[in-house]
Amino acid sequence: AAAQPGAAPRAIRAHAGGVTAVAFAPDGKSFASCGLDETVKVWSFPEGKLLATLRPESKHASNSTNDVE
């Protein structure tokens, strides 16, 4: 159910270590949260249903110039 105007905000506890950023989709129907647990979670809005969890493929990104000619 949609939140009623004037209703208290709802907390979603899903990241270990806290949230570092939140961004809403342009259509306002979902948002993403980034956490100290190195995940990005995508949520429906205003329901707060978890739609996806994204994790890094590797903790060490390659920045080698050997692959570039």
- pLDDT (tens digit per residue) in 39-56: 999 999 988 899 999 999
Q: For position 14, what pLDDT does the model report?
A: 84
Q: What's the rounded Cα separation, in Å, for the pair 69 and 65? A: 8
**Greater confidence, 18 or 1?**
18
For residue 14, give the nearest of 5, 2, 29, 40 by alpha carbon.
Answer: 40
Give the amino acid at 46. P
Contacts of 39 (CB under 8 A, 6+ apart): 15, 53, 54, 55
SS in 3 state form for 24-64? ECCCCCEEEEEECCCCEEEEECCCCCEEEEECCCCCCCCCC
Q: For the whole model, what pTM was predicted?
A: 0.67
- pLDDT (tens digit per residue) in 7-35: 666 777 788 888 999 999 999 999 999 99
Q: For position 10, what pLDDT does the model report?
A: 72
